[in-house]
Amino acid sequence: TQLLEQSPQFLSIQEGENLTVYCNSSSVFSSLQWYRQEPGEGPVLLVTVVTGGEVKKLKRLTFQFGDARKDSSLHITAAQPGDTGLYLCAAKKTSYDKVIFGPGTSLSVIP
């Protein structure tokens, strides 16, 4: 059983569209990270959220941590081909635990 679920698994959209991907769990986490992995590269850390309800923005990307710290969303505005990649959420139950990774959302933005 996956401790972290991500949806959708695959997403293909046209350049300029908006999209939201989700990371869900029945567990409460002390912190949650979002990574983007481009083909042939390692995952790159985008953001860390630690407070329930927290919202962080990174240019066209908006990240939200659920009030109960069990879920998170990543919203991309006006997607560009450079946003193409595998988006991974990762979380820890406590600061002493190992990081758990979700299965990922594969995003393809078509020019």
- Count of other CB atoms within 10 angstroms of residue 83: 19
User: Judged by CB, which is closer to other proteins: 66, or 104?
Assistant: 104
Annotate 14-47 with b (16+ C-beta within 10 A) or e (fewer).
eeeeebebbbbbeeebebbbbbbeeeeeebeebb
The residue range among 12-20, 58-66, 67-75, 100-108 that interacts with other proteins, by the rule CB under 8 A, is 100-108
Q: Which of 15, 17, 41, 67 binds other proteins (CB under 8 A)?
A: 41
Which positions ≥6 away from 39 have C-beta within 8 Å?
A: 85
Number of residues that bind other proteins (CB under 8 A): 22
Q: Which residues bind other proteins (CB under 8 A)?
A: 30-31, 33, 35, 40-45, 48, 50, 88, 90, 92, 95, 98-99, 101-104
